[in-house]
Amino acid sequence: SHLLEAEPEKVYAMPDPALPDDDIKALTTLCDLADRELVLNIGWAKHLPGFSSLRLADQMRLLQGAWMEVLLLRVVFRSLGAQDRLVFAEDYVMDAAQARLAGLPDLHAGVLQLVRKYRAMGLEMEEFVTLKAIALANADSMHIEDAEAVQKLQDCVHEALQDYERARHPGDPRRAGRLIMTLPLLRQTATMAVRSFCSIRQDGRVPMHKLFLELLEANA
Amino acid sequence: KEKHKILHRLLQNST
């Protein structure tokens, strides 16, 4: 229930109507949306039980390691009810043709693979918020100062997921494990996304806000 | 740390 309460509000993409409909406009819209969502996601992390009592340096490492996984998981959850489209925001839905125009066909296909996986499992809101917290605590940064405290945070969320599954899906003892086993694909897709946006940044044609740039650089 | 000043600031804000 803590995790459900901590869930951030909706964000709208609000593409600039003055820009021509090309790849630059699509990527500008996505980077701007991501930057605003990142601010919300940092606020979200601070509301996770135990996160704010971690050392500040470790809070930073976890977010620097998992920010894209958290962003993508939110897109994936929003897209569960859409047909082969990614719902970046209610006002910004992208199909395969639009993703190709934006130069992101592989990323689009990769995220859709996650969507299909979770849709087949019937991913629930409670499971989504728990997985997102596990992904954050699972960032696997090499430079965590207090690994024991981070492990404790992860154990706490993991236990919440197990409790939930025991209560809601007692006939499916493998469900919690199957959900956790989707995290490698999430990590892989997030790595692909970070690489794509790093190369977009190097091209220098798309304006990016500072927080988004800062986190891209942390992964470069 | 200087490189990550926005993240640092957002984490330190009390909201």
The complex's ipTM?
0.89
Q: Which of these, A69, A64, A9, lies nearest to A212 by C-alpha position?
A: A64
Confidence (pLDDT) at A139: 84
Mean pLDDT over the full length of chain B: 80
Q: Computed over its alpha carbons, how large is the radius of gyration of chain B?
A: 7
The DSSP code for A8 is: P
- Alpha-carbon gap: B4 to the closest alpha carbon of chain A (Å): 6
Q: How far is CA A172 from CA A2, A7, A163, A167, in A?
A: 24, 26, 13, 10
Helices marked H in A56-182:
56-78, 96-102, 105-121, 125-137, 147-168, 175-180
Q: Which of these, A140, A139, A75, A165, lies nearest to A113 by C-alpha position?
A: A75
DSSP, collapsed to helix, strand or coil, labels residue A93 as strand
B15 has pLDDT over 80: no
Q: Give the integer Cα–Cα distance in Å for A64 and A79.
A: 24
Q: What percent of chain B has pLDDT over 90?
A: 47
Q: Which of these, A98, A99, A81, lies nearest to A90 by C-alpha position?
A: A81
Confidence (pLDDT) at B13: 84
Interface test with B, best of A44, A60, A217 (most B CBs within 10 A): A60
The model's confidence at residue B2, banded by pLDDT at 50, 70 and 90, is low
Interface test with A, best of B11, B13, B15 (most A CBs within 10 A): B11
The model's confidence at residue B14, banded by pLDDT at 50, 70 and 90, is low
DSSP, collapsed to helix, strand or coil, labels residue A88 as strand
Whether residue A25 contacts residue A102, with contact meaning beta carbons closer than 8 Å, is answered with no
Which residues of chain A fall below pLDDT 50? none
Q: Give the integer Cα–Cα distance in Å for A96 and A108.
A: 7
Contact B7 A46 (CB under 8 A): no
The terminus-to-terminus CA distance of chain B in angstroms comes to 21
Q: Does the CB of B12 have a partner CB in chain A at under 8 Å?
A: yes
Q: Contacts of residue A220 in chain B, CB cutoff 8 Å? A: none
